[in-house]
Amino acid sequence: MFWKKFRDGMVFGAGFALSLCVVSYLFFSTILTTELSRNDGPLEFELPQGSVLERPPKREEQFRDLTVEERIATSTVVANVVFTPGQDDSMRAVIQEILKLDEGTTFYYEEGDELPTMSFYPNESHHRGDGAIVFFIGSPATIKHAVYYTGQRIGGLGDMPLELLKEKCAETDNGGSTPAAS
């Protein structure tokens, strides 16, 4: 007797909840389509005088979509990092060469320093290659993007030769800045 009343109550409650959901959906979909159809033009608003509407910062996917030349021009620092075996079976990321350093950029590393965020412990399923080209932005410079290379070819840049990338960095160098830490 108890279970029959309990079951009947559950069936009634489920039916009531389902009908409430259907009615709410129909009600709100009708209201929203009516309101949206009234506003056919673009949304317009006024900014207070003197304010500036800034563009949102670029996402990683957008940086990857840039050409090599645009990546170099956007970066404040471009560094060539090589992987060398560490004492604890790790692969240390050591800055071999600073390919570009914009004048006035604060960069806390020098050639020969380890870049700890790029160091790793190798495993059988993942090999990062012989080194990486690391693009930094801002001042102080922070890592924005890295592409790995094996031998003298940079896979992440369409197998571009490493020497060609170095030439492009030299061409893009702003005002003849010297690769030295600030």
Q: What sections of 39-109 are H helices per DSSP?
A: 60-65, 68-74
The residue-averaged pLDDT of 161-179 equals 76
Helix (H, G, I), strand (E, B) or coil at 7: helix
22 phi and psi angles, rounded to 5 deg: -65, -45
Cα distances (angstroms) measured from residue 76 to each of 111, 128, 143, 172, 179: 16, 24, 10, 11, 11
Give tens-digit pLDDT for 113-140: 999 999 988 887 777 889 999 999 999 9
57 phi and psi angles, rounded to 5 deg: -65, 150
pLDDT above 70: percentage of residues in the chain: 77
Beta 153-154 vs 160-161: how paired, if at all? antiparallel
pLDDT confidence of residue 29: 73
